[in-house]
Structures are given as C-alpha cells and as structure tokens.
Amino acid sequence: MARLTQADLVDVNLKFEKRTPQELIEWAIATFADRLAAISSMQRSGSVVAHMLHAMQARVKILFVDTDVLFDETLQTRDRLIEEYGLEVVTLKPKQSMFEQIEQKGILYLSVDGQKECCDLRKTQPLLETKGTYDALIGSLRRSDGGPRAQCPILAVDPKMNCLRINPLVNLDDDAVESYIKEHDVILNPLHRQGYSTIGCNRCTTPVLPEEPNRAGRWRHLGPWSVYCGINPTDLDQSTSPAIDLSQDLIDRILGRETDFVI
C-alpha cells in the first residue's frame, strides 16, 4: 500500500475545478469501478446527485444511514429514489435503538459533548462498518453552504474511512441547484418545502426562519456550538494534512500519472 495525502491532491483538485458534476462522476466511475459508492442523507443536494446517477444509468450504490430517529418523510424519500429512479440504496443502522442507547447512556443530545457522541454512535459508526469496502465515496457538499464547507475541495481524503471523498457539486450555488431540480423534477424530501433548510434526526432538527442561517435548525437547543455531526471529514479541523493508504496503481490513476514499468 502507498500513502495519499491531501497535499498530493492539490494539482488534480485545481484541474477538476473546470469539470461539471457529471464529468466528475464519470471520472469517479472510471477510476474506482465497483469500489465506488455515494453517500446521502436524503436532503436536497443528495437528491440532485441521486438524479444524476439515475440519468447517467450509473450502477453506483448509495449508502444511507438510518439513525432510527429520522423523520418519516426522509425514509419516504429514500423509498421513492429506489422505486422511481431504480437506485440501489444500502441502509446502514446503529447497533442500538435510540431507546437502548438512552437506557444505557441517558439522553446524550441534550449537551454539546453528548451530541457529538450521539452523532458518532448513530451516524459515523454505522458508516465506518463499511470501511474497506469502498475506495471512494461521492458526497453532495457545496461551498455555498458556507462555514467550513466554503473551502471544501472536490477531492478530499477521509482517514477514518481510508477512502477518497468526491464532492462533484462543490461549485454549484443555490440557484444552480434549484434550476437543476426544476428542470429535472428531482425527487425531494418534502420537509424542504416545510421550512427545513437542512434535515437530520427528528430529535435535533427544526424549521428555519427566512432570516436565519441555513443550519440554524440543527441542534438549536445547544446554541451555536453544535453545527455539524462529524460524518463529513471536511467539516472538521483541517489544520493537519490527513492521509489514506491505497494501492500505488490506484493513487497513480487518481493523480493522472502514467507509470512506465519498462526498464
């Protein structure tokens, strides 16, 4: 195995800035084949990625973490993507039900530290159960989301999953996303039409007022200290240069190298 750092991706990320989302997805499919999956929480941008995969007739699985406390509308959106787009959605679940977790640990989501642990147990850990199955995951992060995502790269290493995260929508602003949704009549989580700009678990998500930031409805009861769940590595501290371990051949393909083995 060889080492791939975030710094190694600088040049290819610059080159990919001019690519369309569909071109980036095509590159991902060609590079990773069946070692590629997408990840979605059934929100607006994730639905756009799902529609693109459907339109491209791409046989890419979508990983979906069902925390056991999601809104019914979110589960219904997943089912519609399966039925109407013909997508294969792999539903991942935490080891304990929310009732079992509360019996053992109490109500974690009522404190800042507890929220981090709860999100780790119910979102991150189920995803980590797939570690080693995929070399790359397609996400739906966008720079127009602001905060840490304003600097989100197209390609980002994910040390916990030991895979590459691919963000084909990073350069789409809200208008571009809405235009795509209207043009293609994209299946959307109905909660987006009910005041929810972002959608997570039903315990910790509320509607957002027009003048509020988009993520104001996430963990509102904890104030401004809890904004992200931690399942996306680029939402976390990027002060260090993270790295992952992949085969040298795959790293060469990611970086666009042509290796000559003839001596």
- Quick one: tokens of 134? 């995929």
Is 138 inside a domain boundary? yes
What CATH number should be reported for the domain holding residue 248? Answer: 3.40.50.620
For β-strands 155-158 and 36-39, DSSP reports them as: unpaired
**Does residue 260 form part of some domain?**
no
Phi-psi region of 94 (alpha: psi -120 to 50; beta: other; left: phi over 0): beta
Helices H / strands E in the chain, number of each: 9, 8
Partnered with residue 38 across adjacent β-strands are 62, 138
- Tell me what the mean pLDDT of segment 116-127 comes to: 97
**Residues in CB range of 13: below 8 A, 6 or more apart:** 153, 154, 155
144 belongs to a structural domain? yes
User: One-letter amino acid identity for 246?
Assistant: L
**Per-residue pLDDT, 213:** 85
In a domain, 263, yes or no: no
Residue 128 has pLDDT above 90, yes or no: yes
User: What total number of domains does the chain contain?
Assistant: 1
Give residue-wise pLDDT tens across range 88-121: 999 999 999 999 999 999 999 999 999 999 999 9
Q: Residue 235: what are its φ and ψ, rounded to 5°? A: -80, -15
Convert the pLDDT of each residue in 214-229 to its tens digit: 888 888 988 865 566 7
**What average pLDDT does this structure show over 147-156?**
89
Distance CA 59, CA 43 (A): 21
Q: Name beta bridge partners: 251.
A: none
**Which of residues 212 and 120 earns the better pLDDT score?**
120
Active-site positions read 229
Q: Is residue 145 part of a domain?
A: yes
Q: Evaluate whether residue 36 is within a structural domain.
A: yes
- Terminal-to-terminal C-alpha distance of the chain: 22
Residue 182, domain member (yes or no): yes
261 confidence band (pLDDT: 50, 70, 90): very low
Considering only CA atoms, which of 258, 256, 260, 259 is closest in space to residue 10?
256
The answer to whether 201 and 208 are in contact (CB under 8 A) is no
Within a domain: 221 = yes
**Which pTM does this prediction carry?**
0.91
CA distance 64 to 199: 13
The mean pLDDT value for 23-49 works out to: 98
Chain segment 250-260, per-residue pLDDT in tens: 999 999 986 54
Domain housing 170? 2-253
pLDDT higher than 80, residue 210: yes
